[in-house]
Structures are given as C-alpha cells and as structure tokens.
Structure 1
Amino acid sequence: MAETLLHEPEVTLELARQHGLTDEEYGWIVEKLGRTPTFTELGIYSVMWSEHCSYKNSIAVLKTLPREGPALLVGAGEENAGLVDIGDGLAVAFKIESHNHPSAVEPYQGAATGVGGIHRDIFTMGARPICALNSLRFGRLDNLRVRYLLDGVVRGIADYGNAFGVPTVAGEVYFDPSYEGNPLVNAMSVGIVRVGQTVSAAARGKGNLVYIVGSATGRDGIHGATFASEEITEESEAKRPSVQVGDPFTEKLLLEATLEAIRKGLIVGMQDMGAAGLTCSSCEMSARGKSGMVLHLERVPVREPDMTPYEIMLSESQERMLVVCEPEKAAELEEVFRKWDLHAACIGEVTDDGRVRVYWHGQLVADVEAEHLVLGGGAPVYYREARRPAYLDETLAFDPATLPDVTPETAGDVLLQLLGSPNIASKRWVFEQYDTMVRTNTVVGPGPSDAAVIRIKGTRKALAVKVDGNGRYVYLNPRRGGQIAVCEAARNVVCAGGRPVAITNCLNFGNPYKPEVYWTFKEAVAGIGDACRALETPVTGGNVSFYNENPQGAIFPTPTIGMLGVLEDVTRATTADFKQAGDHIYLLTPAAWLHRNDLGGSEYLAYVHGITAGDAPHLDLEEEKAVQQALLALIEAGLVRSAHDVADGGLAVCLAECVIFSPGLGARVELPGAPEVRLDALLFGEAQSRIVFTVAPEHEAEVARLLEGRPVQARRIGTVTDAERLELQVDGRPILNLERAQLVAPYETAIPSRMPTV
C-alpha cells in the first residue's frame, strides 16, 4: 500500500468515532484490510456503513416483506428503483425516498435536492419520469419556525420540479407536534419505460470504461449520508455543508442526454450519485456486477480548488451519474453529453477482481473490496433489542365515554372546526405552487380525487398513484397502523379507478438503538407485510430513515406508502365530486360492518379534544380486500359517478368534502343510528374499509346485481341535490344542515390564513 498523502490526517480510533463508526466496526475494518485504513478509506467505510447506505439496523426486518410478484421485473433493492410490468410492453419504474435531515437544516435545498435525487433514480434505469408525489409532515402551524420550514420545503419542491418539467400530481401534508423539530420530506417519482429497454446499475465487462457525467464535483453534501444517520441536535445548524445544492436545469439536460445515450445503446451500466456520491455508485455498481473498478480522481471535473481524494469520493454534489461504456462507443458517448453541454469524463475502467482502487495522480489512496462495503454484502447487519413501549398501556386504556358526546346542536360546529384542521383542510396553498399539468398527461391532479391519474400516451391505459400514511395510528398500534397505511393507499387508488399492483415505502422512525423505537419499527413493517400479502401488492423497494429525533423526542413512527395502480381504460378515471342532482349516494362497507365507537387515533379526538389516545381503528384485511374489489368492479362496469373513501374526520367530513368539491350541488343524507353508538363516533369516527360512492338512479338494480354474492353491503344513504348544502339526519333526527359556503370557508382558508407573510 502506498504511503498516504502527507496532508491527510492520521487515522485513529478516535477519528473513526468522529466519522460515526463504532469501535467494533473500526476493528472489523482494520481486520479486513490487514492494516490501518487510509483517510480516504476511512471516509469510504464511514459512509457505506452508515445507516443511510447500509441499512444495517433495518435490512434483517425488511427482508420479511413480500418482495416478489408476477408483475415485478426486478427484485426489491436490485436496481435504483422498482420496476413493474403493466402490459402492452410497458413497465413503470417508481420509488420513494426521504430527505428529512437536510430539509430540517436547509428546507429549500433539502426538499429541492430530494426531488432531483428521486427523479435520477428513475431515469438512470432508462425510464422517463412522468409524475412526482410527496409526503410532508411538520409541527404545529402556529409555530414560526414550522411556517418557515413549510414555506421553504414547498418552494424547494416547486422550483425544482417545475423547472425540471415533471408534474407534481399528488401528495399529503400533515401537522402534529411530534414533528416539531424534525419535519419529514418524502419524495416519490414515477416513470415509464419499454420492457427490455432498461439499464442496470451494474458494472460489467473487464476493460470497459468508467465515466462521470453531468455536473462538476464540489464540496457540497460531504458526509450527507452520515448526517442522515444521526439525530438532529442544536449543533445540526452547523452542518449546512452536508446539505446539497440542486440545479434543475442541469438535471433536465442530464435526463435528455442519458435517455439519448440509452436509446443509442451506448451504456452498459449506470447509477445515480446520490448518498455517498462517487463512493456509493462505484462500490455498489462493482458489487452488483461482481466486478471492480480502477478510478483516477484527478480526472474528475471539479468546481472548487484543491479538492482532496477524500472530498471527491464523498461529495454529494447533485446532477451526476456514474456510467460504464464499452471503449469502442466512448467517443459517441462523449459526443452525446457534449451536445447537451454536460461533462463526460473518463475516470477509470472496470476490472474483474472485486476491488475498487482509487488513485490520485498515480498514488494509490484507497483499495477496498466492493462486496465488503455494500448492503446485502459485507456491511454490518444488526438485530437490535426490541421492547414494547410502556406508553401503549396508557393510550390503550383510553375510554371515549370520559368525553362529552356531540349533540344535534353542536355537531355542525364540530364539523366546521374539523374542516378547519390543517390536516383535513384544502392543501391548495401547497399544490398551486406546483406545476401539475406539464407534459399534458395529468388526467386527475390534486384536489377532488383520492389519487392522481396519469395518462400513458399512445395507449388507453393510465396510472393511479398515491402516497399515504398515518403516524398517529402507528403510534397507537404499530402493526395495525402499518396495515392501514397500505390499505388506505390502495383504497385511494381504487377510488380513482385503479387496480393496486405494488408499493414502494419510506419508513420514518426514531433512533433504532432505543428498544421501544425498534419494536415499533418491527411491528409496523410486519403490518405492512400483512396488508401487502392480503392485497397482493408486493414491495418493490424504498427507503428507511432512522434517527428522526430532536432534543424534545422522536417523531410519530411514520411509514409512508407509495401505491401504484393501473387503469386499463383511462375513461374510467373516477373523482370524488358529485356529478348530477338525483344521483343516489351509497356507503360501501364489509357485509358484517356495524357502527362502533371507533374514535381512537381520530383527527376529531386530536384536534377537537387535544387527545392522542385509544386504539387505531378496526381493520380486517379480508374485509378491506372485498370492499376494494367490489368498488373496482362497479367502476370498471361504468356504474360509479363518484367515489371518496372515509378517512380523516370520518363520514361527516367525507360527505362534506364531496359537497365542497361540487359547486352547484349538495347532499341529503339519512343514517341509521344505534343505541350504543355515540353520535361523535357515527359522524367523526375513522373506522376503515368504507367508501362513499354515487350512482345514477337507473343503475341501481345493476349495482345490486354486481354486488350480489360479495361479502360487502352497499347501503343507500342519500341523494345528490341541486341545493348547495349538506343535510344529514340520523334516525329521522336533523343533525347537520350547512350551506356549502359555510363548509368551504374553513376548508379553504385554514392553511393560507396561517401563512400570512409568505
């Protein structure tokens, strides 16, 4: 081994600790190398063995998820993103990832580079991104810093996505004190590619050339992966250099150049330089291809003077890819990227010895075994202690009978109060900053729909896409909360007319070294697995984000589900708004479903009473599947005019939203009561597996015929009227009688009124 560069510090155990490695891990490195690592090697190991890259505390649990299915073209984790066959020679690449820690420190660039990074994961596979989604969570909106974070994150997503030219079509925004010091920013991208025209993230072919393409390399983002693998503290503000800086216009050029090079057959393998930059891409591509690489770092285009090998290997500068190309095609590859005004620098070649060797002006500064560094290879795998949290005994003991019930006189005021909750209210302030229609494929965007619908040009097909999750449910019942996250995402896709086919997930949790956090993580993952097996929606991949804590405590455990659905006929796309006066309103539920006092974890309990307690709502996976299949059959038969699932805020909020979405129309509803069921539970309880849909009167008999024999019930509960108001009775007793304008006011103003200066 050559002597290390003179200006690199001496590697010691203390220096390894500063890099986030444990004493035991440092010992393994020394043992594996047979010597003390160089400073550059220490940096390589520290980022590759960070939680963000190695999944060392989660991989054993993730392997329990269902990761196979007839439509999956690649296994979970095998490539940059999941890949699903949707027929007609087409495949969908999709993935969701977190950018939580960077967004907490620098919200604008943290969110913007999260969008850029997830899009690169899609087009490195050869797929053109056709839409983006996001899931955002913040503290209370009355907090000045929360408003600053919300403003910065939304602007970052908007500016990057709008300039890049991909529509942001769906998402969710939640507010809760648990996210006060640690916002969640999860970004999802969806792309289309022809089957057989994808590119693998593997380096193959001894003697093939290794190129770095795209932007020049700077010092931004160094140790971003390790920054994302520790708790946020008051010192995090000093780590702004760990936050990358994005350039969407360069990324647009990189997208077009990359897809052109793939079309021309110039690329053997390619990977985005995301977390850990050149280190991660070179090691992972080598391990995946069972090959190796020789890299000459002085050939890397840099934009800052005097950059060291350590900095170049760990930089997370954006809009860069690592590409493998056959020597005889190198000139043409360079010409393609030159045409798009991008760097294409040959920095090395592929070998067959399984090692990544890094040179600096002829001096060997790193020599590591690729397989030893990567997820699923030689990176550490831990089985952490798990212990059921003691708080569950207290929350599960909650009895709703200790609270006063609503009355016919107060029910209207409570409904208006809930419509003004930022968690339920319109997110128009957010999504109107996004370009939702660019590329003209958006059939249904943000607004009156449970999921977005994107047309696939040249076919009758469309995609229904949705992100969903409820951290409050997971906090109260981790396993059932994980099940509900999957089921509600699927239910939303079904309400839009799509058949759920697969998921990607972003698992946001606290510190895995805390036994209570790890128990919750394991239980939530088990719940996700339960639901995916029941609904036949395998997991294509995703992201784990641990250490979402701040000095005040951990976030609610928050698994975010990105659900992909397929519509064979885009004309069957369904929205939540009423269509015509006289249509019949139905409530679809499991056959055996009865109203119950299911208030645990509800927005009503949290927002109106300030209580987060009880159990997560009841859910039976077989019942849920039956309800979804029943509605999908009705939609595919052309019988459903509108559909909206009962979710946050319960049935009363669901009906109110349908009226809000329907100018010129209203609803007259009659519900049956039950002596043992509270009125607040009937109106605002969040029991699962319920969907409100409407049908033209002449199709009533056909609806009954199609549902005959299915384990569901479709009870007619009302009629769409031409009066702009919501009228609701229970057992003939008037409960709600509110004009549409009364409903719209709190719903549309809740967020803008709290953001007066931005």
Structure 2
Amino acid sequence: MTPHPAADTVKNAAATPDQPQPYRALGLKDDEYTRIREILGRRPTDAELAMYSVMWSEHCSYKSSKVHLAYFGETTTDAMRERMLAGIGENAGVVDIGDGWAVTFKVESHNHPSYVEPYQGAATGVGGIVRDIMAMGARPVAVADPLRFGPADAPDTRRVLPGVVAGVGGYGNSLGLPNIGGEVVFDESYLGNPLVNALCVGAMRTEDLHLAFASGTGNKIILFGARTGLDGIGGVSVLASETFGAETGRKKLPSVQVGDPFTEKVLIECCLELFHAGLVVGIQDLGGAGLSCATSELASAGDGGMHIDLDAVPLRASGMTPAEILSSESQERMCAVVRPQDVDAFLAVCRKWDVLAAVIGEVTAGTRLVIDWHGETVVDVPPRTVAHEGPVYRRPVARSDRQDELVADSPDRLPRPAAPSELQAEILRMVGSPNLCSRAWVTDQYDRYVRGNTAAAQPADAGVLRIDERTGRGIAVATDCNARFVALDPYAGAQLALAEAVRNVATSGAVPLAVTNCLNFGSPEDPHVMWQFQQAVRGLADGCAQLGVPVTGGNVSFYNQTGERAILPTPVVGVLGVLDDVARRVPSGFRRDGDAIVLLGDTRDELGGSEWAHVVHRHLGGRPPAVDLAAEARLADLLAKAAAARLLAGSHDLAEGGLAQALVEACLVGGRGATVQLPPIDPFVALFSESAGRVLVAVAPEHVSEVLSRAADAEVPAREIGTTGGSALVVGDVPELPLATLRTAWEGTLPALFG
C-alpha cells in the first residue's frame, strides 16, 4: 500500500494561501469556504476543512432549520420546564418522573445509510441513539423504531425492509434492550428513500445526570470503546476519504458505519460503572462526525480550550490521515473528560470491562481547539465556530400552488360502499392492507420482553415499561405521524401526529409528560418543503404549548427525496407518559366476555388523507380531520383518572382505518368477539372516518354508569355501542365477520410479501 503523504499543517496552510482545496466535493458552498478562511485568517488545513465540512453539514449544524426550531424555545413556558432536567441542545432530553427517577429519551434518523446498506444502516442507527442516552448518564432500557418504506410489493422494498428489520432486531436484541413500539408504514413517496428512525429510552436517578462539556484546565480527554477505522467516514456529508485519500490507491470503503453490538454492550456497563464511581466530569458519544464532533462540542460547551494528540488515538487501519481520523464514524466510541487524579481509576474500570481506552489530550486554559499529528499542528480553530456557530440559512419559504390543488381534490367525490355486504368486503380489504395488517412478522424479530420490565409492547397502542421495580413506577411511550395529513395541512397534520401519540400513551393510563421528534422532510432548497417544515414546527410547538408538554429534543432529517420527488412530510412525534404503577395500566383490546364497549369522542365525515381513500382509491386530497387539542387533553385526563380508579378493562385508540379497524384490532388482540350498534350516522362514515380524539374502552357492566358520568363531567362525548364476547365481530347490519376470517386477513399480508 502506498503510504499517505505528510499531513497538511497549519504552518503550511498559512504559507500557501492559494492552494486549491476540494471544499465543494465535501459539501461546502463557496460562501461557507470563504467564511472559514475569514474565521481562521488563512486557508484551512485538510483536517480543518474536513472538520468544518462535517460539522457544518445539514445533519450536524441544522443550518436550514435552526431559525425555525427556535420557536420550540419561544413557546416553552416555565411550567412546561418544571420537570425537565435537560432539553434541546443536549444529547437527549431528560425529565423527572418522580420518586427520584429521571428518564431520558430521544429519536433520531438513519435514513440514507439504511437505503445504501439496510442491515448496518439500521443497526448503527440503533447503536447511535443508544449512545446518546448513555451520554446523559442513564442506563438504556428500551428502544422503538418508527419505519417507513415504499410500496409493500415494490422490489426495492423487498430489498430494504428485511435488512432494516434484521438490523434493528440484531443490534437491539444483542444489547438486551426490549423493542416496545414504533411504526411500519408503506407509501409510494418513500420508494428510494426509506425512513429509519430510532428511539431509545434510558433511566437513572436524578442525581446521576451527566452533560457534554469540557471544563477544568488540566483535565484529561479519554477516548474509549472501539478503535477508529475507515468505516463511516463522511457518513453525515460525503466520503471524505475519497477526497483526502485518493492518491493512496486505497480501496474506497462504504460510508455506512459497521456496528458491533457486543462491544456496545460492554461499553454500556463500563460507562455506568464510571458514572457511579464519580470518575467522569463530562462525556460525549461519537456518532455523526466522529471525533470532529466530540472534541469541538466538548470544547465549545466548556470553559477553556482543548489540545488533542491524534497519535494517541487507537486505530484499526494503517496510514490514516488526520482528516480521516477526525471524520471517521466508527461505532461504539465515547469521549470523556476526566480529572488527572482519576485517570488511573478510569483506565482500571475500562480494563475490567475489556474496553480499550486512551488519553488523547487535555483541557487547556486557552480558547482554541488544537490538534497535533506526528508532532505537527494540523488543527487550530475556535471550537465554537466548528460546533455551534456554523452557517444559518433563512431559506425561501413559499406555499406552492400545488397545495391548493391538493386541498381542492376532496375525497367526497369518491364512490362509497353502502350495502351491508359491500361494507363487509371493505372491512376485510382494509384489514389486510399493508398499512393496517398485523406487524407481527416485523415485531416477532424483536425481543420485546428482555430484562423483564416490559408491561406492554406492540401490538399495544403504547409500549409500557417498569422503571422502579420496588414501587412499580413506569413509563409509556408511543410514536406517531400520519404523513398524508401533514401533506394536506402541515400545521394541523403535525398537531394530529402529536394528538395521536398523546392519545396512545393515554390509552395505557399514563399521563403525557414530554415530547421528542424526528422531522423528516425533502430538500430545504425547495421553498415548498421549507413551508411544510415551518408550518409543521409551528403546529407542533403550538400544540405542545396548548397541551403543556415540552419538546425535550429531537432531530431534523432533510434531503429525503429521490430526484425531484420529496417524501411526504413526516414529522414523527414521540410522547413519553408516566404511570405511578404499571400494574394499573389498561390492556389493549377486548380481553373478557360481557364488557360494555364505550366509544369516547365524536365521529364526523372526515375522509381526507384517510387509509380508506389511500387503500381503495389511491387518493390523497382534501382536508385532514379537524384537531381539537383541548378536547384531546380532556380525553387524556379522563383516561388517566379512569385507569387509576380501575374502571377500564381495555382500550384502543381510533386512528388509521377508523372505527372498523379499531374494532377488528381490539377483537383480535384481546381474543374476544363483539356485537356493536353503529352511531346514528351514515354507516360508512361511522366505520371509516378518521376523526381525531376518539378511543374505544371496554368497561365492566357495574362501572358503565360511572364512566359515562365521568365523561360527561369532562365534556367528552361518550356512547355505549355494544358488548364483548363470542367468536365474531358483528357490526350493525353488516354480515358477521368471524374472528378466524379476520385473523387470516390481518396476519397473512406481511408473511406473504416478505416470506
């Protein structure tokens, strides 16, 4: 192998101002490169250029979104902040759930890598979000995976989906983390650009919170975990090794990271022992942008400068350049700030867990991040300019005329079934459609109950997890987004996603407490996409303010499109709720004979963006269902209080597919039939409308009057519509649907498509 030439040093950069540099190939604009030169007073070295290129990428700097994301802070009140221990800007949000316990959670994207290499892209997406949780001082306790793919029968979906599911399961299962929730959605717009979002939840005592900063002159910087290699270089922007290593003759490696969950497992245990021993001042995981991110963010958030010696970084490839070492996104690595007197003890803990660790630098009294390699300085930068003072773009925002055309194309013109036999056929068709069928083929590949604290997982509306084994205190987590609603009205659509996630958490009996989000959109250079983004952010922020639940953090993923075609705008919303005792959770579905079925909420003729319009007519148009967040709050409060009083025997929210789908799932999940009389409206509307703010609850006969009374006091519409029992679903005049027939339709779709 031809050795690398000597590194481009700061001294050489100052002496050769006119040397051409491949900044465009690294994703930097002309004005961005000019600004870097102005900051440094010279041209950047190769290593500095690599650092700025990855840290100023859309993924790391939020340069197109930060002007809009600021609205979250503007709308967060002091009352909303009361239980927040850490929020936006940290590795993950942290909330106080009571009894001295804190929970940290966050959702992030790994979309593009999962299209290129589905298994490793999804696996390292899980690994990355787990390390974000570790960096807060918590033990990771559960994961969830909101996934979106192209049409279920498309050849490329058959390539991508099995690998993604295997990657999520392979990494999470190996870590011993239960997968307690998520989504699997199919739509034409995701063909060529799947969305692989990963959520992780961690638990800790409130006093164990750790943050990412480097303070204390003389404190040491320790890199620990896996060795640094060539995998994942430029994963957040472009393949840096292609630019900086072209002259070596080295074979180009894929920009998708390679994960090792067993290394991460021992890294988790090692980190927890280090935290408990009080050996860590500050800590940062190495994810997107690798050492470039960890060193610049730690130094930027600290009270001094930092000096790093790249010769001390353990490598697994020979001849790596400084740019490659700094840009590598090799997995399972953490960077800690440690007091000098604690270094030996820190390294001893790492040896105990067989975790490789090396002192690579120290906190300095200056204001610069200085990085040496082979005795020469290759980086000398103000760290804030790398980590926190990147470009800020105010992209053009414009509502396209095509939005008016979309809204004008109402589903009212679509033919609707009317005869009872037609309604029966429509129910069966919907039940077996890819977006409504059973997800068991996917979720059976995940370990949902490892560690023994899972109280509910898919197909429940929300995952429920015990946090305190002594008191039973626990949490509920749900993620949601109907992207068709967001396409029709981004402001209302984002609020509908929030409302559904809150409702799913509330059906378990939990009190909604906090929100995280993963905002997946097309190119920010498209003014219409930026209008969608702006409206979705404002809708979500305003909705959280109205509900009193803060956004604690999240992720933005732009450039999700194939050619000129953007994905449907998909702001995935994750909601965390708290239960005083998970033993009082409300199970999903109908689990006993003889219970009354009560429908909470109003049903209106709202089919815009519905699953019925999508499945039967391949139609998207009109307006989404109306959202009433005050009504959603009253419903959530009613459910939590009724659950605490042990008044509910089962529950299921109404969302995609409407009442028909909710009844089918409640019957199949609980293993009980039902006999139902529809409300006095058009039977088709009653069955397939997707009006928001509705939940089915099963109630023992002796509790029905109290539930109806409580609903009336809460101003929540409530109607007793039937009873549970039998081996079939009987709905009004619709011919009965045997559970065996429904189960065959519901469970057969994904195995038939994916084997």
TM score, norm. by length of structure 1:
0.94
The answer on 1:406 being equivalent to 2:405 is no
CA-CA distance at 1:399 after TM superposition? 3.3
The residue that corresponds to 2:110 in the other structure is 99
Matches within 5 A, 1:477-556: 477-551=489-563, 553-556=565-568
Counterpart of 2:697 (choices 693, 696, 699) is 693
Percent identity of the aligned residues? 46
AA aligned to 1:346 is V
Q: Distance in 2 between matches of 1:55 and 1:239?
A: 28
Deviations 1:457-476 (A, max 9, x none): 22221110111111111111
8 Å CA contact 2:17–2:42 kept in 1: the answer is no
Q: Distance in 2 between matches of 1:389 and 1:631?
A: 40
Q: Distance in 2 between matches of 1:5 and 1:218?
A: 26
AA aligned to 2:504 is N
CA-CA distance at 1:597 after TM superposition? 1.9
Q: Tell me the secondary structure at the aligned position of residue 677 of structure 2.
A: strand
Pick which of 650-659 and 573-582 moved more: 573-582
Pick which of 284-293 and 355-364 moved more: 284-293
The residue that corresponds to 1:754 in the other structure is 753
Q: Distance in 2 between matches of 1:568 and 1:588?
A: 24
How many corresponding residue pairs? 731
Q: Distance in 1 between matches of 2:532 and 2:58?
A: 18
Q: Distance in 2 between matches of 1:291 and 1:607?
A: 58
8 Å CA contact 1:450–1:493 kept in 2: the answer is yes
Counterpart of 1:629 (choices 629, 637, 643) is 637
Matches within 5 A, 1:390-429: 390-407=401-418, 408-429=420-441
Pick which of 106-115 and 710-719 moved more: 710-719
The residue that corresponds to 1:22 in the other structure is 29
Counterpart of 2:276 (choices 259, 263, 266) is 263
Deviations 1:112-159 (A, max 9, x none): 000001001111211001100010000012112211100000000111
Matches within 5 A, 1:576-725: 576-589=588-601, 593=602, 595-663=603-671, 665-674=672-681, 677=682, 679-721=683-725, 723-725=726-728
Q: Distance in 1 between matches of 2:285 and 2:659?
A: 45
The answer on 1:86 being equivalent to 2:100 is no
8 Å CA contact 2:115–2:193 kept in 1: the answer is yes
Q: Distance in 1 between matches of 2:18 and 2:623?
A: 51
Cα distance change, pair 58–472 in 1 and its aligned pair in 2 (3 A): same
AA aligned to 2:528 is E
Q: Tell me the secondary structure at the aligned position of residue 231 of structure 2.
A: coil
CA-CA distance at 1:4 after TM superposition? 6.0
The residue that corresponds to 1:233 in the other structure is none
8 Å CA contact 1:224–1:275 kept in 2: the answer is yes
The residue that corresponds to 2:473 in the other structure is 461
AA aligned to 1:37 is P
Cα distance change, pair 657–48 in 1 and its aligned pair in 2 (3 A): same
Cα distance change, pair 646–269 in 1 and its aligned pair in 2 (3 A): same
Q: Tell me the secondary structure at the aligned position of residue 18 of structure 1.
A: coil
8 Å CA contact 1:584–1:696 kept in 2: the answer is yes
The answer on 1:157 being equivalent to 2:165 is no
Cα distance change, pair 239–585 in 1 and its aligned pair in 2 (3 A): farther
CA-CA distance at 1:2 after TM superposition? 5.1
8 Å CA contact 1:511–1:549 kept in 2: the answer is yes
The residue that corresponds to 2:744 in the other structure is 745
Q: Distance in 1 between matches of 2:747 and 2:652?
A: 19
What residue ranges of structure 2 are gaps of 5+ in the alignment? 1-7, 241-250
Counterpart of 1:366 (choices 348, 367, 379) is 379
Q: Distance in 1 between matches of 2:285 and 2:188?
A: 35
AA aligned to 1:357 is V
Cα distance change, pair 13–520 in 1 and its aligned pair in 2 (3 A): farther
The answer on 1:41 being equivalent to 2:53 is no
8 Å CA contact 1:5–1:365 kept in 2: the answer is no
AA aligned to 1:54 is S
The residue that corresponds to 2:247 in the other structure is none
8 Å CA contact 1:13–1:26 kept in 2: the answer is no
Counterpart of 1:141 (choices 148, 152, 158) is 152
CA-CA distance at 1:179 after TM superposition? 0.1
AA aligned to 1:207 is G
AA aligned to 1:424 is L
CA-CA distance at 1:755 after TM superposition? 0.9
CA-CA distance at 1:160 after TM superposition? 0.6
AA aligned to 1:750 is T
The residue that corresponds to 1:472 in the other structure is 484
AA aligned to 2:112 is H
Q: Tell me the secondary structure at the aligned position of residue 237 of structure 2.
A: helix
CA-CA distance at 1:736 after TM superposition? 4.3
What residue ranges of structure 1 are gaps of 5+ in the alignment? 230-237
Cα distance change, pair 43–67 in 1 and its aligned pair in 2 (3 A): farther
8 Å CA contact 2:96–2:206 kept in 1: the answer is yes
8 Å CA contact 2:230–2:253 kept in 1: the answer is no
Q: Distance in 2 between matches of 1:3 and 1:401?
A: 67
Q: Distance in 1 between matches of 2:100 and 2:153?
A: 50
Deviations 1:387-427 (A, max 9, x none): 11222212211233422221212001111111111111110
8 Å CA contact 2:258–2:331 kept in 1: the answer is yes
Q: Distance in 2 between matches of 1:171 and 1:128?
A: 20
8 Å CA contact 1:186–1:506 kept in 2: the answer is yes
Q: Tell me the secondary structure at the aligned position of residue 751 of structure 1.
A: helix
Q: Distance in 1 between matches of 2:358 and 2:547?
A: 47
Deviations 1:209-247 (A, max 9, x none): 011000100011111111499xxxxxxxx9862110000
Q: Distance in 2 between matches of 1:646 and 1:186?
A: 24
Q: Distance in 1 between matches of 2:287 and 2:16?
A: 26
Cα distance change, pair 617–196 in 1 and its aligned pair in 2 (3 A): same
8 Å CA contact 1:138–1:175 kept in 2: the answer is yes
Cα distance change, pair 598–73 in 1 and its aligned pair in 2 (3 A): closer
8 Å CA contact 1:52–1:228 kept in 2: the answer is no
AA aligned to 1:588 is L
Cα distance change, pair 548–4 in 1 and its aligned pair in 2 (3 A): farther
CA-CA distance at 1:259 after TM superposition? 0.7
The residue that corresponds to 1:109 in the other structure is 120
CA-CA distance at 1:96 after TM superposition? 0.6
Q: Distance in 2 between matches of 1:461 and 1:71?
A: 19
CA-CA distance at 1:636 after TM superposition? 1.4
Counterpart of 2:391 (choices 364, 370, 380) is 380
Please provide the CA RMSD for this pair. 1.9
Q: Distance in 1 between matches of 2:351 and 2:639?
A: 52
Deviations 1:181-225 (A, max 9, x none): 100000000010101112211101000001100010001111111
Matches within 5 A, 1:230-249: 241-249=254-262
8 Å CA contact 1:10–1:39 kept in 2: the answer is no
CA-CA distance at 1:12 after TM superposition? 5.5
The residue that corresponds to 2:4 in the other structure is none
Deviations 1:427-451 (A, max 9, x none): 000010011111111111212x210
The answer on 1:185 being equivalent to 2:196 is yes
The residue that corresponds to 2:729 in the other structure is 726
Q: Distance in 2 between matches of 1:372 and 1:401?
A: 54
Q: Tell me the secondary structure at the aligned position of residue 196 of structure 1.
A: helix
8 Å CA contact 1:396–1:615 kept in 2: the answer is yes
Q: Distance in 2 between matches of 1:560 and 1:313?
A: 31
Q: Tell me the secondary structure at the aligned position of residue 741 of structure 2.
A: helix
TM score, norm. by length of structure 2:
0.94
8 Å CA contact 2:84–2:552 kept in 1: the answer is no
Cα distance change, pair 552–145 in 1 and its aligned pair in 2 (3 A): farther
AA aligned to 1:310 is A
8 Å CA contact 1:659–1:724 kept in 2: the answer is no
8 Å CA contact 1:450–1:575 kept in 2: the answer is no
The residue that corresponds to 1:307 in the other structure is 320
The answer on 1:61 being equivalent to 2:52 is no
Q: Tell me the secondary structure at the aligned position of residue 586 of structure 1.
A: strand
Q: Distance in 2 between matches of 1:219 and 1:415?
A: 52
